[in-house]
Amino acid sequence: MVSLIRNGPRSLLVETNCMKELQEYLNSNYTCISVDRETMYEKTEEYHTAVHFVEYEDNESLSYKKIDSMVIYEESLTLLCNLFTHAPSELIQSIRPGPHLLVMRATGDLDKVMSRIKTDLGGEFGTFEESTENSSSNITVLGITEKPLNKNMKQDDFYPTYLKFEGNYPKIKRELRMQALNYLNIGIGKKDWNEIEIRIYDSFGAYKLHYDRMMSVLDALELGLVLGESWSKDHPRFMMSVEVYRVRFLTFEDPEVLKEILFGLEYLEDGTRIVDYDLYHKNKKLSWGSLRKNTKDRNRKIESLEIRKKIMDKLDEGTIEELLSYEMEILKTRF
């Protein structure tokens, strides 16, 4: 599936005269990491909490200066309740919610996407620092990226211009969610999505394992949507038919990108070929030979293993473990 919008880490603005003691308390009771602007997204997930230790200019003003930041691997409301209930009262002077962070996936002309969002919803352009500076819970900051949203990201993965909105956060998020697909299409220039058909064939019959293995990768890389599935017959040679499992898949990527990934999944790390993943686009089969056309002295196994390594480098540890588990189960069907 393709995720187009999600929350960033929620933030709390904490005022304290005992920052070292409060940090020690948090470290002893929670899983915590120190972060800066460059590493906050890379080391946090949607339901983590970024705690910013701040100093206010005066008792009347809401303007503040960040002294330090850390991320707590805990949901913000739970953390807030625990701090009020259990933390020594002398450690905390005040706690306020920080700005809401939203992350949207787009691709292509990102400047055009941001300009259209500003036209539709208003807001102000700025850098991440400008957008979050002295911001509290009435501020929503939107960043866009071409990376899949189920991965942690570095600051460099984001388009350098952010949008800062004031006002009703639920309404802003709802509007962005409703129009997210339209913004994605604007970025790729109204280009049509590609509908492809993937045909799975295994002489040992482990179709469900091959399907689940394939989808674990396509979902992790957020390459598209499954439109339908069915059993069918394929005819690789005259007077010969084999049973195949067909998957109709919608993607905004070029079919060649999907073909390369599927080709890289046909072999295990030791060079054992376990499945045929054939890809059809507009009723035309894309062959292995259509990849790297200008390469001489080609070797199917070597090329597949090279692509497999590239795929593995893009996957998170959980997906890799899942993939290897499927492969172990598939090998059991070979004997």
- Residue among 264, 236, 266, 261 at smallest CA distance from 251: 261
Question: Averaged over 245-270, what is the pLDDT?
Answer: 94
- Residue among 285, 298, 315 at smallest CA distance from 221: 315
Other beta carbons within 10 Å of 58: 7
pLDDT at position 235: 65
Q: Bigger pLDDT: 36 or 130?
A: 130
Angle at 33 between CA 5 and CA 129, to 5 degrees: 55
Distance CA 122, CA 159 (A): 18
Among 96-105, 116-125, 186-195, 250-259, the minimum mean pLDDT is found in 186-195
Q: Bigger pLDDT: 2 or 178?
A: 178
Which structural domains are found in the chain, ordered by start?
5-187 (no CATH), 194-332 (3.30.70)
Averaged pLDDT of the chain: 89
Tell me: the pLDDT tens digits for 209-235? 999 999 999 988 989 888 889 998 776
Confidence band (pLDDT; 50, 70, 90) for 112?
very high
pLDDT at position 61: 67
R_g (Cα) of the chain, nearest Å: 25
Question: Averaged over 100-120, what is the pLDDT?
Answer: 93
Confidence band (pLDDT; 50, 70, 90) for 163?
very high
pLDDT at position 239: 54
Question: Averaged over 117-122, what is the pLDDT?
Answer: 96
Q: Flag whether pLDDT at 293 surpasses 80.
A: no
Q: Compute the half-sphere exposure of residue 178: CA atoms within 13 Å on the CB side of its CA.
A: 8
pLDDT at position 149: 83
Among 27-31, 70-74, 297-301, 330-334, the minimum mean pLDDT is found in 297-301
In DSSP terms, 59 is beta-bridged to none
Other beta carbons within 10 Å of 151: 17
pLDDT at position 133: 84
Query: pTM for the full model?
Result: 0.75
